[in-house]
A and B are shown apart, each in its own frame.
Chain A
Amino acid sequence: MLSFVARSANVSSATVAATQTVANGTKALCPAVSIQIERTLVPPAPQKLTTNSLTASLPKTPIRAAASLGGAIQVRFAHTDIQVPDFSAYRRSSVKDSTADTRSSAASRQGFSYLIVGSGAVGGAYAAKSLVGEFVSSMSASADVLALAKIEVKLNDIPEGKNVTFKWRGKPLFIRHRTAAEIDAESNVDLSSLRDPQLDSDRAQRPEWLVLLGVCTHLGCVPIANSGDFGGYYCPCHGSHYDASGRIRKGPAPLNLEIPIHTFVDENTLVVG
């Protein structure tokens, strides 16, 4: 009992010390409480402050800490005899005075750093977008393919009543200069009699010119112009009859002949594609 009281005094001094100290792994173990244990031998103070002599004072074996009621509980390294170094060379001018409140200038300091980083992010986003754009655009059609994607047709070379075939994107392209009689006949067709009802005015931008993709919508044969029961096109493979507007009128084909995108640049120039 007596020994416990004697020891509790030791413990209380140790717990007070524990609230004030900072652990430091590079210093030799020295006991906070003076009790009889084997002491770590500290070498005598070096005569000269060289790297070598300072290294010699480092511990050579792993530092062990033992905790028990009777043993050393903590190591005390806190110094009151060392001045806090001067960091003013590294500080921003608004926080040079270490005694002043720095909260008032916090927004502008952090704002500056965020602004710099943010503007870097803007530049980075621009660079990344350009890079991605370059790679993505490399997937688009190359210039020589695009150059062939459009075909320009001189319309005054095509006499009235004639159907001319061009090769466009590997497919036959029909351009038909329709006569007034054909235009008249096609625009007066009863829509209810058609399999794929479409007005003639929807199919021909200019009534005298009909631009068609010469591929039968049934199984892809090339129809023959100016033949068939309706005066337009006739597919020799399975006997589909199209009229002079390219609409399916008779036979197995389900749809009208396809109209490619085309524009009339001027009076006698047509651009298909």
Chain B
Amino acid sequence: MSLVAKLYNNVLRRSSTYALAIVTGAFFFERGFDMATEHLYSEINKGKLWKDIKHNYAPAE
């Protein structure tokens, strides 16, 4: 039985577990997506952001 089929039979088949999976998925997705975009954004703007120059003005923190 493939992974998707297992997932289907255990989670996606019942509306209750399906909705629960979506809510928990959204919780983790929110954190992951925010972190990923934050990382991507600071990668795009490396050296320009405040956190990149902060250490020049607020050492020892």
A84-127 vs B, Cβ < 8 Å mask (1 yes, 0 no) = 00000000000000000000000110111011001101110110
Contact of A111 among B4, B21, B30, B33 (CB under 8 A): B4
Please, which residue of chain A has its CB at the minimum distance from the CB of B12? Answer: A114
Q: How many whole Å from A131's CB to the nearest CB in chain B?
A: 13
Given contacts A126-B30, A126-B33, contact A111 B7 (CB under 8 A): yes
Please, which residue of chain B has its CB at the minimum distance from the CB of A108? Answer: B5
Question: Contact: B5 with A111, CB < 8 Å?
Answer: yes
Given contacts A107-B9, A114-B12, A118-B12, contact A129 B26 (CB under 8 A): yes
Q: How many whole Å from B9's CB to the nearest CB in chain A?
A: 6
Q: Name the prevailing secondary structure of the B interface residues.
A: helix
Q: How many whole Å from B25's CB to the nearest CB in chain A?
A: 4
Q: How many whole Å from A219's CB to the nearest CB in chain B?
A: 48
Contact of A125 among B4, B9, B12, B23 (CB under 8 A): B23
Q: How many whole Å from B36's CB to the nearest CB in chain A?
A: 12
Q: How many whole Å from B27's CB to the nearest CB in chain A?
A: 9
- Which of chain B's residues have a CB closer than 8 A to the CB of A108? 2, 4-5, 8
Question: Contact: B12 with A111, CB < 8 Å?
Answer: yes
Q: Is B41 an interface residue (CB 8 A)?
A: no
Give the residues from 137 to 154 in chain A that come closer than 8 angstroms, CB to CB, to chain B: none
- Cα separation A112 to B5 with both chains bound (whole Å): 8
Question: Contact: A114 with B18, CB < 8 Å?
Answer: yes
- Cα separation A129 to B27 with both chains bound (whole Å): 10
Q: Is B35 an interface residue (CB 8 A)?
A: no
- Cα separation A118 to B17 with both chains bound (whole Å): 11
- Which of chain B's residues have a CB closer than 8 A to the CB of A122? 22, 25-26, 29
Given contacts A107-B1, A108-B5, A125-B23, contact A115 B12 (CB under 8 A): yes
- Which of chain B's residues have a CB closer than 8 A to the CB of A126? 26, 29-30, 33
Please, which residue of chain B has its CB at the minimum distance from the CB of A130? Answer: B30
Q: How many whole Å from B17's CB to the nearest CB in chain A?
A: 11
Given contacts A119-B25, A121-B22, A125-B23, contact A112 B4 (CB under 8 A): yes
Given contacts A108-B2, A108-B8, contact A123 B29 (CB under 8 A): yes
- Which of chain A's residues have a CB closer than 8 A to the CB of B22? 118, 121-122, 125
Residues of B within 8 A of A (CB): 1-2, 4-5, 7-9, 12, 18, 21-23, 25-26, 29-30, 33
A-B contact pairs, 12 of them (CB 8 A): A107-B5, A108-B5, A111-B4, A111-B7, A111-B8, A111-B12, A112-B4, A115-B8, A115-B12, A118-B22, A122-B22, A122-B26
